[in-house]
Amino acid sequence: MSFKSTSIIIIFLLACLIGLPSLVLAHGVDDSTKQFLLDNQGVSIIPFLYIGAKHMVTGYDHLLFLIGVIFFLYRTKDVLVYVTLFTIGHSLTLMSGVLNNIAVNPYLIDAIIGFSVVYKGFDNLGGFQRLFRYQPNTKLAVLIFGLFHGFGLATKLQEFQIPNEGLLENLIAFNVGVEFGQFFALTVVLIVISFWRRHRSFLQFSTVANSLLMSGGMMLVAYQLTGYFWHTIG
């Protein structure tokens, strides 16, 4: 292994480590945020914007999925198309989920989100083409999984009985915040990936990277399903 590719891997691992502190935080909403949501009344655009952005930046499940989605997207236009589809998907279910009070079990929905990461990693390895000689529509998949990610976001917000007063405005602010956070996180990820792509190690290690992605997704599924049985049945 050349010195260059070694240093790239070290940079990549460092980037992952920087993301680690967010793993230590519970993926729900932290105490002070919770207190704010409980006490809040009426329209508060900026705080909800901030909570939305923070949720996305520290939401490793959403980030892992997005890394998988843009992993092999080389053109800015494609990145925009796929990210827009994801945004449409999660915004639809986030808004309608909260407004219509559609309650989904948070553990099950987070398990599905974990599964979306496994799916994307497998897809990136060409798994569907190889095993089934068929490539499921990648754009449709991003849209559909976007719907599930949105339900996840909606479920997190619904755990707090947000007053009806100013709900729509706050919800839109939260949603816009999610997009800001997504944009910020994606920019960082894109910079790291496009830097890595210029090196031979990218293709050499893309298999390893996508296997790791699958593995991370599997951990999320196992974690959330255990949580489901632990809290719901046990």
What residues make contact with other proteins under the rule CB under 8 A? 26, 28-31, 33-35, 38-39, 41, 71-75, 78, 118, 121-122, 124-127, 129-131, 138, 159-161, 163, 200, 203, 206-207, 210-212, 214-216, 218-219, 222-223, 226-227, 230-231
Reduced to 3 states (helix: H, G, I; strand: E, B; else coil), residue 8 is helix
Backbone angles phi, psi at 10, to 5 degrees: -60, -45
Shortest Cβ 126–other proteins spacing (Å): 3
Counting beta carbons within 10 angstroms of the beta carbon of residue 227, is it exposed (0 to 12), middle (13 to 18) or buried (19 or more)? middle
Question: Considering the complex, what minimum distance in angstroms separates the CB of residue 114 from other proteins?
Answer: 10
Q: How far is the CB of 175 from other proteins (least distance, A)?
A: 20
Nearer to other proteins among residue 81 and residue 92 (C-beta): 81
Nearer to other proteins, 195 or 230 (CB): 230
122 versus 151: smaller Cβ distance to other proteins? 122
Minimum gap (Å) between residue 30 Cβ and other proteins? 7
Cα dist from 38 to 53, 56, 176, whole Å: 19, 21, 21
How many helices (H) and strands (E) in the chain? 10, 0
The Cα 142–Cα 219 span in angstroms is 21
The rounded distance, in Å, linking the Cα atoms of 106 and 16 is 26
Helix axes of 138-158 and 60-70: crossing angle, nearest 10 degrees: 170
Residue 136 or residue 184: which is nearer to other proteins going by CB?
Answer: 136
Cβ-Cβ contacts under 8 Å for 45 (sequence gap 6 or more): 169, 170, 173
| Smallest separation (angstroms) from other proteins to the CB of 24 | 9
The three state secondary structure string of 114-134 is HHHHHHHHHHHCCHHHHHHCC
Q: Are 128 and 122 in contact (CB under 8 A)?
A: yes
Nearer to other proteins, 72 or 180 (CB): 72
Comparing CB distances to other proteins, the nearer of 63 and 221 is: 221
Q: How far is the CB of 87 from other proteins (least distance, A)?
A: 19
